[in-house]
Structure formats: C-alpha cells, structure tokens
C-alpha cells in the first residue's frame, strides 16, 4: 500500500479481521507540552477522515489534550499506558468494537467519562447508543452530528461551562467542514 498524499499521521495497514486495506490513525498527541490541569481526551474511530476532521475541530481547545486511536485494541493499549479524563469512541469498528471498548475503559479508567458515537451501520444507531448508555456512556452522539454538539457534549461530561460566545450561532454539520485532506498548519 502507498501512503495517501496529504494525510500525514496516517499509516497504512493490511487490515483487520477481514477488512482489507483499512487504514488506521496511529496514536498522536496534538498538544506539544503537557499541562497537569489539562483534561485529556482519547478519541477512537476507525475512519481516518473523521479523526482528521475532529482533530481540526478540537485543536483550538487548548484546555484539552487529544490522543487518537484507530480501533478499540489500540485504544485499550493506550488506556493502560496513560490516564484519560474522557474517552470518545465510535461503536462500530473492526476488531474490538466500541461496546467492548467502553467496558474495558470502565475497568482501566474508572474515573473517566465516556461519549459514544455511531452512524448506525446495519442496525439502528439508536439501539447501539442505548446499549452504550447501559454500559456506562455519559453522553451519546448519532452521526452525523454538528461540531457544536460534540463540543457541548465534551464540556457537559467534563463539567466545564464554556462561554456562550465560544460556539457559532448556526450549527455546522461535520460533512460540511473543510476538506480533512487539506494540510494542517
């Protein structure tokens, strides 16, 4: 496989569990220096393009340190290496899915908050989100969601009150954001 142009930070892989050619985002820290008061977020999704978009959305929020993982297995390894205040996970992923990942996060990071997100797949996404809530998710997002809904959910579960002016008046759906393949400054 060849590296896709303009997608720095993405590593091609052979695929997992019968998903040939699936790419994954390797763990990456967005913040260059660590502040002990900074809340740490682990973002898990098998869609590298969505990870890239969400990195762009969360980058201006310097009060949060962001680490990404391309699947549940990678995320669980990170959970055993570092402490995270918040885990944001997709539900439908190859290998170890989001529901299993939520269960493992509850054991590995007992104080961490969890946000579950899904686009549905073969079943209704709301059914998976209901199961995620039962397993301990503190907030639920059904894809596509707006950037404002994501920021609001993060602030709510972390117990933060953001200034009202921090959010634009009109929600911006994720699919209308700038091209994630564009280079990040």
Tokens of 117: 């997100």
Tokens of 126: 């709301």
**pLDDT tens digits along 69-98:** 999 999 999 999 999 999 999 999 988 999
Tokens of 130: 């209901």
pLDDT score at 95: 85
Q: Domain for residue 65, yes or no?
A: yes
Tokens of 103: 């269960």
Q: Domain for residue 40, yes or no?
A: no
Does the CA dihedral 91-113-73-13 come out positive or negative?
positive
The total number of structural domains in the chain stands at 1
Q: Domain for residue 12, yes or no?
A: no
pTM of the model: 0.70
Length of the chain in residues, anyone? 185
pLDDT score at 111: 94
Q: Domain for residue 67, yes or no?
A: yes
Domain hosting residue 80, numbered range: 20-31+45-161
Beta strands 64-69; 39-44: pairing state: parallel
pLDDT score at 83: 95
Tokens of 92: 């439908």
Vertex 68 angle, CA 13 and 102, to 5°: 100
Beta strands 39-44; 113-118: pairing state: unpaired
Q: Give the three-state DSSP class for 144.
A: coil
pLDDT band at 165 (very low <50, low <70, confident <90, very high): very low
Percent of the chain residues past pLDDT 90, beyond the cut: 54
Q: Domain for residue 63, yes or no?
A: yes
Comparing 96 with 11, which gets the higher pLDDT? 96
Q: Domain for residue 78, yes or no?
A: yes
Mean pLDDT of all residues belonging to the chain: 75
Q: Domain for residue 181, yes or no?
A: no
CATH classification at residue 86? 3.40.50.2300
**Long-range pairs of 121-126 with CB within 8 A, sequence gap ≥ 24:** 121/92, 125/91
**pLDDT tens digits along 102-117:** 999 999 999 999 999 9
Q: Domain for residue 174, yes or no?
A: no
Rounded to whole angstroms, the Cα distance separating 125 from 134 reads 14
């Amino acid at each position: 496989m060849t590296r896709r142009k303009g997608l720095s930070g993405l590593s091609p892989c052979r695929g997992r569990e019968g998903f040939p050619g699936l790419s994954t985002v390797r763990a990456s820290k967005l913040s260059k220096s660590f502040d002990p008061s900074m809340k740490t977020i682990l973002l898990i999704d098998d869609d590298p393009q969505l990870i890239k978009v969400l990195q762009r959305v969360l980058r201006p929020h310097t009060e949060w340190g962001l680490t990404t993982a391309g699947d549940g297995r990678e995320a669980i390894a990170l959970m055993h290496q570092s402490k995270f205040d918040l885990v944001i996970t997709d539900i439908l992923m190859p290998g170890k899915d989001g529901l299993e990942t939520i269960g493992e996060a509850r054991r590995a990071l007992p104080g961490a908050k969890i946000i579950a997100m899904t686009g549905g797949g073969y079943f209704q996404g709301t059914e998976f989100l209901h199961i995620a809530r039962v397993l301990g998710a503190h907030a639920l997002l059904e894809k596509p969601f707006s950037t404002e809904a994501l920021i609001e959910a993060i602030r709510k579960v972390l117990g933060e009150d953001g200034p009202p002016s921090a959010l634009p008046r009109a929600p911006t759906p994720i699919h209308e954001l700038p091209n994630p393949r564009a280079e990040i400054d």
